[in-house]
Structure 1
Amino acid sequence: MRLLPPELAKIAREELNEFPERIPQDLIILRTWIYQQRHLRARTSADFLIALLRRCRYSLEQTKQRIDDFFTFHSTYPEIVMHRRVTEKILTINRLGIQYFPEFPRCSDHAAIMISRMGDCCPKRYHMREIMAYDSMVMELIALENDNAAIVGICQILDMTNMNVEHAAQLDSGLFRKWWYWTNYCCPLRINVIYCLNAPKEIQNWMTLMKTLHARRETFPPMFMVNSLEELYKYIPQKCLPEEYGGLNGHLHECVSYTEDLLKSYRDYFEDEGNYGTIEPLRRGDIVPYEAEFGAEGSFRKLMID
């Protein structure tokens, strides 16, 4: 575990209940619990478990639930997290610049910045499922490597310039819901707020519809539509943004290079992913239908908390 700067350590203590002296015992409890779950094949590395503990504000019971949800989702819905390998195609998707994580820029509240530019991806060449696989990989790595992101959370700028109905057509209601389930209940990162920049009218209507359809059963972060950089600056200090967005914190091509180096350094991490997941016939607990959740036939079992 990396030593935190004093200001970030203060936030971790006051907002996440993170006390370094307690972490070894928390890790022992989680690892013991994982080994007791016959159905569960989960990562037990300190970095991975600490990222989830932070996401759950050090609630052990919530962390157990998120661990189970994370690996159950990977086994049950491979269409969302398929191809999670550091292949040339994944690196090519990264070079398109559809997801930027500036290494150094921080918001004024110390949250990390995530800039998504889905309109820069050609829907005829890459399906939204491939983009989701890439996104899930990078978001997981940022949770492991970026302490601001893991502790304070993410401020997402969803730059929808060049996005059109062809992009939205690939993201039907079922796929959208599964992605938001992964983001809310599985991902180690917390998205605090989303700013939708330059969204075409038809895309705004589509996003509003999707949010309305699922808002009753999902926890959505606050979402704001902004139509210009000047309007965005009202929410995010201009100096915190990359230079391409009028800020002072680096260039977007530096973000792409940083993420590519990060992906390559975790090549073995993702190659090892086939060893993890769930074996549902071994799970203990009552069976609960999830047809209402995802519009698909099947079952999902309750997690047993020891």
Structure 2
Amino acid sequence: MSLKIRPLSPELQQAAKEQLNEVPERIEADLEAFKTWIKQQPHLNPRTDDQFLIAFLRGCKFSLERAKSKLDKYYTLRTKYPEYFNITDVDDPKFREIHRLGAIVYLPKPLNDNGPRLAIMRSGLYSVDKYHIMDVMRVAQAMQEIAMMEDDYAIIKGVIFIMDMKGATPGHLFQMTPGMAKKMTVFSEEAVPLRPKAQHFIHTIPGFEQIFNMFKPMLSKKLQGRLYVHGNKMELLTEQIPLKYLPKEYGGENGSVEEIVAEWEKKFDQYSDFFKENANYGTDERLRPGNPIDFDGLFGTEGSFRKLDVD
């Protein structure tokens, strides 16, 4: 088999070895074992190109069993909740409108030039009268999917999210229902192979605490310990993320939002067919070996979320 995987820089390759248990000489065998398992799953129809699958192996520190579970959850949830997670049209006018607002940006330089990828979401930039948070999160989901395919820093070093609520209103907060929060939280933590390293909240507004307290218990204890609420104290953020790694709009040197948006506009054009192909992939629960998944029990708004048990 001839591997079709983008080569890593020496620095990232060393990090993959030390932090993710990657053994370059064994990658071909690891991928072959992964693909063999996929072929044995009658209910599962995923992408199987090398670059896509290695993201799951790296995201699971090369534990094949964890990678199997994560891939299955990834497609199970995308199939059951396509309105949340299965993006097939990045040329939709509303999608492009939201993107051009610059409400979500992945910054060009990772932290400290070789660390985690930095992403900023600015909820105050979109009108709740015109857009729902689900519309905005679909743009975020598409950007995350592109990062899975081409951002080695995000996959190997992880991602740091900054949620900037400047200009937001209570209306922004209360568009997020408990059921929506459950779905997004479990998809992010249990299905996506990117590794969340921290989440910072700045310029928080009245009502934020209520949503935050709803959201926090849904995360693992590890991720709960990586949440930081800074209020309006930007200096608390820049103690952990030096100002130079923020965009020019924040007084930093890490690109301008206008430039970043223009660059990602090109990416969406390039990935247009890739997203259309998403309609071809997913799961068929009728063919799943064993008992079917009780989605209503898992994601109903009553009670707490019980983790998927898929292998």
Q: TM-score, normalised by structure 1?
A: 0.91
Name structure 1 gaps, 5 residues minimum: none
| SS of 2:264 mapped into structure 1 | helix
The one-letter amino acid of 2:208's match is I
In the alignment, what sits opposite 2:153? 148
In the alignment, what sits opposite 1:195? 200
In the alignment, what sits opposite 1:264? 269
1:93-112 correspondence runs (5 A): 93-107=98-112, 110-112=115-117
2:70 aligned with 1:63: no
The one-letter amino acid of 2:181's match is F
The match for 1:85 among 86, 89, 103 is 89
The match for 1:303 among 303, 307, 310 is 310
CA-atom RMSD in angstroms: 2.3
Q: Report the CA distance shift for 1:70/1:95 in structure 2 as closer, same or farther (over 3 A).
A: same
How many angstroms apart in 1 are the aligned matches of 2:96 and 2:282? 25
The one-letter amino acid of 1:207's match is F
The 8 Å contact of residues 114 and 153 in structure 2, kept in 1 or not, is answered as no
Q: Report the CA distance shift for 1:279/1:287 in structure 2 as closer, same or farther (over 3 A).
A: closer
In the alignment, what sits opposite 2:169? 164
| SS of 2:244 mapped into structure 1 | helix
Residue 209 (structure 1) shift: 3.3
Summarize deviations over 1:49-88 as a string: whole Å, max 9, x none. 0111111111111111011001000111123125531123
Q: Report the CA distance shift for 1:221/1:164 in structure 2 as closer, same or farther (over 3 A).
A: farther
Name structure 2 gaps, 5 residues minimum: none
The 8 Å contact of residues 56 and 71 in structure 2, kept in 1 or not, is answered as yes
In the alignment, what sits opposite 1:239? 244
In the alignment, what sits opposite 2:57? 53
Bigger mean CA offset, 224-233 vs 164-173: 224-233
How many angstroms apart in 1 are the aligned matches of 2:9 and 2:43? 39
| SS of 1:233 mapped into structure 2 | helix
Q: Report the CA distance shift for 1:24/1:83 in structure 2 as closer, same or farther (over 3 A).
A: closer
How many angstroms apart in 2 are the aligned matches of 1:260 and 1:252? 12
In the alignment, what sits opposite 1:39? 43
The match for 2:19 among 4, 15, 26 is 15
How many angstroms apart in 2 are the aligned matches of 1:218 and 1:167? 27
The match for 1:222 among 226, 231, 238 is 226
The 8 Å contact of residues 108 and 254 in structure 2, kept in 1 or not, is answered as no
The 8 Å contact of residues 82 and 130 in structure 1, kept in 2 or not, is answered as no
Q: TM-score, normalised by structure 2?
A: 0.90
In the alignment, what sits opposite 1:29? 33
How many angstroms apart in 2 are the aligned matches of 1:196 and 1:302? 31
% identical equivalent positions = 34
The one-letter amino acid of 1:279's match is D
Residue 292 (structure 1) shift: 4.4
Residue 39 (structure 1) shift: 0.5
Residue 98 (structure 1) shift: 1.1
How many angstroms apart in 1 are the aligned matches of 2:90 and 2:114? 32
Q: Report the CA distance shift for 1:217/1:167 in structure 2 as closer, same or farther (over 3 A).
A: same
2:279 aligned with 1:277: no
2:285 aligned with 1:293: no
| SS of 2:120 mapped into structure 1 | strand
Q: Report the CA distance shift for 1:288/1:142 in structure 2 as closer, same or farther (over 3 A).
A: closer
The match for 1:6 among 10, 33, 57 is 10
Residue 290 (structure 1) shift: 4.4
The one-letter amino acid of 1:22's match is R
The one-letter amino acid of 1:243's match is K
Residue 89 (structure 1) shift: 2.2
The 8 Å contact of residues 158 and 194 in structure 2, kept in 1 or not, is answered as yes
| SS of 1:184 mapped into structure 2 | helix
In the alignment, what sits opposite 1:72? 76
The 8 Å contact of residues 54 and 150 in structure 1, kept in 2 or not, is answered as yes
How many residues end up aligned between the 2 structures? 302
| SS of 1:114 mapped into structure 2 | strand
